[in-house]
């Protein structure tokens, strides 16, 4: 083999001193013999040094404008106590115009997304596997052909049914191997041939698929639990209670969903997509997410090259394309509105309620998305807004009991899209709490 392209991932890990001792040594030996890698490492090291130096030359704390504190305290006083300010700020102004309404939204995520029966079937856990205990993250339920597992990639041994796998353990199937795991957090994963899967440090963490195919069946997550997550070199998939297949081969990741839906995130580009049952999508090193025909991952399985067990580190994905400029829609935005409108008007509460109720579906989908991304836990939305003379929404302040800018923004968008009845006597203030629960 002639001069090769240096493997950046390994060089960065080496630079950070994060390689396991054996790999560290191996890399050192390789560097002695390989001028290309040596030169590359040198550039990385110098660049890191330059960045450190830049950091040190930045002022430790930007000088404070002498008025900053006074201005902040003034602004905070104007806003009142966090979370309770409504009681004094909203009520006295126009008692008749202030509405205290609550809308209880009860989405049925599974029923709604899969369009069928909720998943009632449960995965039989490992024979002697009760609820999560100790640091067991998964148990090998069944296997066939060549399967190895161990606490790390350096300590693999032939696997057998009943093996308890702790956090960060590795399981690897050979070209003819297959294995089934029961997850301590609920759910089951079937590993296809030539697959390497790294378990998360704890039962709630994200798995890593280094290569190969997994079929995942996630049981619904309990309140407060993180969604199930699996990550490859180019994509992350999140789900709460679904069935799907993930294939990672030749630097590209495909997901094929058979039940429910999953969130598919391209790591090179941060592009995100919800993939629903009967759909499939793919992302490669360019970072672009493309829809692919459902079932086409079956072909990918057959084509997936058996990864040599010696390739301990994740294979270098193809160079990612430059990120899309502008990033038109970036979730995670919270506007911090400063109330300026003087609201004196009155508005018909029953009609406001009717208009908002009509958007129940939209609120549900905001919340369904939140449950997918975060956890199926109850959320209270406190929305305060001003309805302008023409019935449109002026300034709006969406406060949540959880910190989730994406949900707040989604809710805000729904409110903004509503055409309200015209208020009388000028803009009117509305306070609208919504309870969202799974």
The residues binding Zn ion (CB under 5 A) are 34, 37
Q: Looking at beta carbons only, is 327 or 390 nearer to another protein?
A: 327
Binding-site partner at residue 399 among another protein, Zn ion, none, CB < 5 to 8 Å by type: another protein
Angle (nearest 5°) at CA 257 between 256 and 260: 170
Does 28 bind another protein (CB under 8 A)? Our answer is no
Binding-site partner at residue 34 among another protein, Zn ion, none, CB < 5 to 8 Å by type: Zn ion
Does 223 bind another protein (CB under 8 A)? Our answer is no
- Give min distance, CB of 426 to another protein, in A: 25
- Give min distance, CB of 45 to Zn ion, in A: 15
Q: Quote the CA–CA distance of 199 and 197 in Å, as a whole number.
A: 6
DSSP per-residue string spanning 345-399: -B--HHHHHHHHHTTHHHHHHHHHHHHHHT-S--EEEEEEEEE-TTS-EEEEEEE
Report helix, strand or coil for 216.
Answer: strand
- Give min distance, CB of 204 to another protein, in A: 10
Q: Quote the CA–CA distance of 379 and 358 in Å, as a whole number.
A: 20
191 Cα distance to chain centroid: 23
Hey, which residues does 298 pair with through a beta bridge? none
Q: Is the dihedral of CA 358, 362, 365, 371 positive or negative?
A: negative
Hey, which residues does 431 pair with through a beta bridge? 100, 384
Does 362 bind another protein (CB under 8 A)? Our answer is no
Alpha-carbon distances, residue 289 vs 264, 303, 374 (angstroms): 8, 21, 22
Q: Which residues contact 209 (CB under 8 A, 6 or more apart)?
A: 195, 196, 197, 198, 230, 231, 232, 246, 248, 253
- Give min distance, CB of 402 to another protein, in A: 6
Q: Looking at beta carbons only, is 23 or 231 nearer to Zn ion?
A: 23
Does 155 bind another protein (CB under 8 A)? Our answer is no
Does 205 bind another protein (CB under 8 A)? Our answer is yes
Does 269 bind another protein (CB under 8 A)? Our answer is yes
Structure token digits, residue 15: 């630079």
Residue from 167, 192, 405, 421 binding another protein (CB under 8 A): 405
Binding-site partner at residue 61 among another protein, Zn ion, none, CB < 5 to 8 Å by type: another protein
Q: Which stretch binds another protein (CB under 8 A): 53-61, 176-184, 210-218, 253-261?
A: 53-61
Q: Which residues contact 205 (CB under 8 A, 6 or more apart)?
A: 137, 167, 199, 226, 229
* Contact pattern for another protein over residues 7 through 26, marking x by CB under 8 A: -xx--x--------------
- Give min distance, CB of 30 to Zn ion, in A: 6
Residue from 24, 273, 395, 399 binding another protein (CB under 8 A): 399
Binding-site partner at residue 37 among Zn ion, another protein, none, CB < 5 to 8 Å by type: Zn ion
Residue from 4, 21, 33, 65 binding another protein (CB under 8 A): 65
Q: Quote the CA–CA distance of 186 and 261 in Å, as a whole number.
A: 17
Alpha-carbon distances, residue 351 vs 182, 391, 418 (angstroms): 51, 12, 12
Binding-site partner at residue 66 among another protein, Zn ion, none, CB < 5 to 8 Å by type: none
Q: Looking at beta carbons only, is 40 or 401 nearer to Zn ion?
A: 40
């Amino acid at each position: 083999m002639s001069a090769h392209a240096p493997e950046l991932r390994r060089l960065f890990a080496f630079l950070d001193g994060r390689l396991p001792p054996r790999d560290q040594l191996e890399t050192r030996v390789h560097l002695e013999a390989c001028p290309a890698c040596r030169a590359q490492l040198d550039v990385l090291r110098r660049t890191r040094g330059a960045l450190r130096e830049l950091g040190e030359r930045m002022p430790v704390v930007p000088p404070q404008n002498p008025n900053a504190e006074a201005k902040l305290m003034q602004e905070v006083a104007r806003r009142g106590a966090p979370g309770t300010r409504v009681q004094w700020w909203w009520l006295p102004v126009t008692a008749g115009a202030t509405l205290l309404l609550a809308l209880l939204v009860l989405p049925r995520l599974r029923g709604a997304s899969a369009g069928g029966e909720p998943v009632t079937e449960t995965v039989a856990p490992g024979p002697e596997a009760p609820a999560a205990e100790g640091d067991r993250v998964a148990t090998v339920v069944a296997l066939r052909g060549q399967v190895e597992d161990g606490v790390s990639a350096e300590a693999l041994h032939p696997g057998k049914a009943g093996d308890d796998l702790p956090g960060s353990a590795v399981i690897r199937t050979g070209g003819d191997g297959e294995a089934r795991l029961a997850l301590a957090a609920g759910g089951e994963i079937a590993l296809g041939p030539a697959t390497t899967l790294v378990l998360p440090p704890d039962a709630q963490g994200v798995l890593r698929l280094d290569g190969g195919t997994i079929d995942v069946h996630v049981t619904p997550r309990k309140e407060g639990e993180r969604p199930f997550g699996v990550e490859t070199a180019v994509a992350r998939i999140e789900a709460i209670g679904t069935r799907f297949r993930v294939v990672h081969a030749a630097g590209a990741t495909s997901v094929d969903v058979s039940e429910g839906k999953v969130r598919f995130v391209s790591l090179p580009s941060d592009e995100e997509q919800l993939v629903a049952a009967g759909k499939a999508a793919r992302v490669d090193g360019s970072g672009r997410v493309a829809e692919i025909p459902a079932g086409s991952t079956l072909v990918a399985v057959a084509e997936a090259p058996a990864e040599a067990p010696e390739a301990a580190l994740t294979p270098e994905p193809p160079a990612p394309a430059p990120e899309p400029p502008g990033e038109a829609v970036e979730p995670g935005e919270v506007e911090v509105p400063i109330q300026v409108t003087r609201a004196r008007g009155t508005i018909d509460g029953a009609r406001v309620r009717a208009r908002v109720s009509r958007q129940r579906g939209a609120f549900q989908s905001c919340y369904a998305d939140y449950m997918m991304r975060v956890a199926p836990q109850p959320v209270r939305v406190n929305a305060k807004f001003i309805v302008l003379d023409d019935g449109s929404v002026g300034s709006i302040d969406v406060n949540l009991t959880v910190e989730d800018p994406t949900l707040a923004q989604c809710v805000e968008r729904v409110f903004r899209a509503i055409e309200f009845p015209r208020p009388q006597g000028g803009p009117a203030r509305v306070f609208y709490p919504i309870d969202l629960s799974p």
